[in-house]
A and B are shown apart, each in its own frame.
Chain A
Amino acid sequence: MHSASSPSPSPLVRAVGRALPPHYATQEQLISAFRELWARKHFNLERLEDLHRAVNVSGRFLALPINEYHPLVSFQQRNDAWVRSAVELGEKVVRQALDKAGLTPRDVDHVFFVTVTGLAVPSIEARLANRLGFREDLRRTPIFGLGCVAGAAGVARAVDYLRAWPGHTALVVAVELCSLTLQREDLSIPNIIASGLFGDGAACVVLQGSEAGAPGPRVVASRAVFYPDTERVMGWDIVDSGFKVVLSAKVPQLVRDNVRANVDGFLAAHGLKRSDIRHWVAHTGGPKVLQAFEESLELPRESLARSWASLQEVGNLSSASVLFVLGETMESQEPRPGDWGVMMAMGPGFCAELVLLRW
């Protein structure tokens, strides 16, 4: 296990690309669009509107114009739209990330593609290979099912790979089009809450092994944490029409019960404590999750300001969210050489992934 004082260089994050689809809708526009649907089953529509307003999201970017969702009723229709949009947005975000790093697609040795919002075989990174011109010996690892944790976990798995191949370059591409999973006919409260919280977006992290003499924070270590017997806390029930959301209110409590000990134990293994961490890169799960992070880790509101802002501006982008916050942190010019950072996310399992960064 690496220690905080380890002299051996770790893989590093060169750049993070971030892309949003072109169709924006304010929360109020979305509420208006949902109202008629809700009225088919529900009597007190004001209560449902309040649920959408309580998530602190001002609007979402959508893969399709809002009026094009109505005809999508089958899983095939939704997933076909997902594949088309995922390839478009994936190409855009990979090009942007590589440009930021001063690299080309031919410099890439391995692509980790993460998503939980659609299925494609060949997977999206294979389709991107045809568009972008990756090398023929590109290694591909598509990862489906980690959900919101996959941004942090994807980076951690890419770093595991780069420790074995210190001269290689890896991409973590996260494309999440949550709007195309929406089961409009599911008028349950968990689905209504999810439809108020989740948005669409994509991120691409460019990572290089320790031999790269380039700027960027080093990924010193990571830790995965699994919480036993929490299968129904969050996830999908796969139904004929697609992905039906499983969402319980236990997530904030799980954070309160665990994250402090998880983070303290992880940091202690590297000779660090919470007060040593200058940059907290937290998944934007939702207002209650962010509050639970703040309370459990005794962080002032400004520590998670970027997560709060991202949640408000674009909603929860599942795995891409924490990578948006990572990119914004890296480009803020705030981190100084020697600063420590922790990236953290949680997702279905239920589980967490912690990633230790050093600038």
Chain B
Amino acid sequence: MAELEGEVVAEIRRILGEELEWKGAVEPAHDLLKDLQLDSLGITVLAVGLENRFRVKLSEEDAVGVLTVADLARLVTQRVVETPGERR
């Protein structure tokens, strides 16, 4: 689980840097909106990128309580574990 969460954090860093032109650091404790300044389009780009990489679906309901990079990494990890199929 911890290993997978680390993979998710790494993917969040990649998406922010490569697709959202974010130049700063990305740490698990960072708030997605306040620290990383993600707007609605940025959140969508991030969610789609994670869905594509980890073959899971994230819903609006899932977003409740997700504030930080670590929250998001936990959510994606949880969805991966719940989803039947091969480890991606």
Measured in the bound complex, the distance between the Cα atoms of B23 and A49 in whole Å is: 30
Q: Are A190 and B41 in contact (CB under 8 A)?
A: yes
CB of A42 within 8 A of CB of B41, answer: no
Most A-side CB within 10 Å, residue of B45, B48, B55, B58: B48
Main secondary structure of the interface of B (DSSP, over half): helix
B30-41 interface code vs A (CB 8 A; 1 in, 0 out): 000000000111
Count of A-B residue pairs with CB < 8 Å: 41
Q: Which of A46, A48, A51, A248 contacts B39 (CB 8 A)?
A: A248
Q: Which residues of A contact B19 (CB under 8 A)?
A: 188
Number of interface residues of A (CB under 8 A): 18
Interface residue from B39, B41, B42, B47 paired with A47 (Cβ < 8 Å): B47
In whole angstroms, what is the CA distance A43 to B56 when docked? Answer: 8
- Are B51 and A47 in contact (CB-based, < 8 A)? yes
Choose among B21, B42, B55, B57 the residue that contacts A249 (Cβ–Cβ < 8 A).
B42
- B15 to A: closest C-beta gap in Å: 11
**Interchain nearest-CB distance for A195 vs B (Å):** 14
Residues of chain A within 8 A of B51, CB atoms compared? 42-44, 47
A250 within 8 A of B: yes
Chain B interface residue count, Cβ-Cβ cutoff 8 angstroms: 16
Q: Are A189 and B40 interface neighbours, CB within 8 A?
A: no
Q: Check if B55 sits within 8 Å of A43, measured CB to CB.
A: yes
How far apart are A295's CB and chain B's nearest CB, in angstroms? 16
Q: Which residues of B contact A47 (CB under 8 A)?
A: 44, 47-48, 51, 57
Q: Which residues of B lie under 8 Å from residue A46 when comparing CB positions?
A: 57
Closest to B45 in A: A189
Chain A residue nearest in CB terms to B19? A188
Does any Cβ of B come within 8 Å of A272's Cβ? no
Contact A248 B52 (CB under 8 A): no
Once the chains bind, are B41 and A41 in contact (CB under 8 Å)? Answer: no
Those of A39-60 within 8 Å (CB) of chain B: 41-44, 46-48, 51
Residue of A nearest to B39 (CB): A249
> Whole-angstrom distance from the CB of B47 to the nearest CB of chain A?
7
**Distance of A41 Cα from B47 Cα, bound (Å):** 14
Q: Say yes or no: is A4 at the interface (Cβ < 8 Å to chain B).
A: no
8 A-B residue pairs with CB within 8 Å: A42-B51, A42-B52, A44-B58, A47-B48, A190-B45, A247-B41, A248-B39, A249-B40
